Amino acid sequence: MQPVPLPAFSDNYIWLLADDAGHALVVDPGEAAPVEQALAARKLQLQAILLTHHHADHIGGVPALLQRHDAVVYAPHDERIATAHHRLAEGDRVQLNAPSLQFRVLEVPGHTRSHIAYVGHGMLFCGDTLFSLGCGRLFEGSPAQMLASLDKLAALPGETRVYCAHEYTLANAAFALTVDGDNPALHERHAQVRTQREAGQPTLPSTLGQECASNPFLRVDSPAIADWARGHGARMRVDRFAVLRAVKDAFRA
């Protein structure tokens, strides 16, 4: 059961999973139209909706989808998500019968205070916490929270496939090369994603193994990132992450 990326807005991905019997779920449907088009084209019935956090580009399509489909909505404990049927916290399980899937829930605050991720069947749906070659901005959480969340994701098996919610990889690579430019794994990943984007292909999924080898936000303990951070006055681990995120916020390719 391979997730299908449904492009939305300028750079979002809504992830669609479906079984051979035509039962489907979607992750973070910020728009209803791409989902409806995909369901109709594939003759699928929407059974479930998984939400990672409250931002409109991740939940905005849910009310319209619920008007047309008898789907169950799973979401974090956050009053800003009014459409949830089941609220989820660390260690909870989402058990679906159709399609037959089970996901474990991880709390990964940082981008927002209530952000969660779903992991199962070798797949990680991480919303805006982890991006390929990057991570989410800190809108509500602290650097310590986000670093702990990224550590939690990085501890998953290296073959885990990363299905994040935005096509940011090429832009993230431009920044990563400025802080970790001697990293062969980063150069290999950059060449791969450049080829993919030139061909009009998604750069996702990546794997956690790839990200741990090439994503600077998962490499704050590496000598290269530590040396770079010292040049910005940061020596403690969380400070290295904080300055990396702050410089990325101001970065323009």
**Catalytic annotation, residues:** 53, 55, 57-58, 111, 128, 166
Contact by Cβ (8 Å): 117, 153: yes
Q: How many CB atoms lie within 10 A of CB 60?
A: 16
The answer to whether 105 and 93 are in contact (CB under 8 A) is: yes
Cis amide prior to 99 (ω within 30 degrees):
yes
Strand runs (DSSP E) across 44-193, as ranges? Answer: 45-50, 72-76, 86-88, 93-97, 100-107, 116-120, 123-127, 130-131, 134-135, 161-164
Residue 173, SS3 per DSSP: helix
Radius of gyration of the chain, Cα coordinates, nearest whole angstrom = 18
Alpha-carbon distance 4 to 8, whole Å?
A: 13
Give the helix ranges, DSSP H, for 159-207: 169-179, 184-198
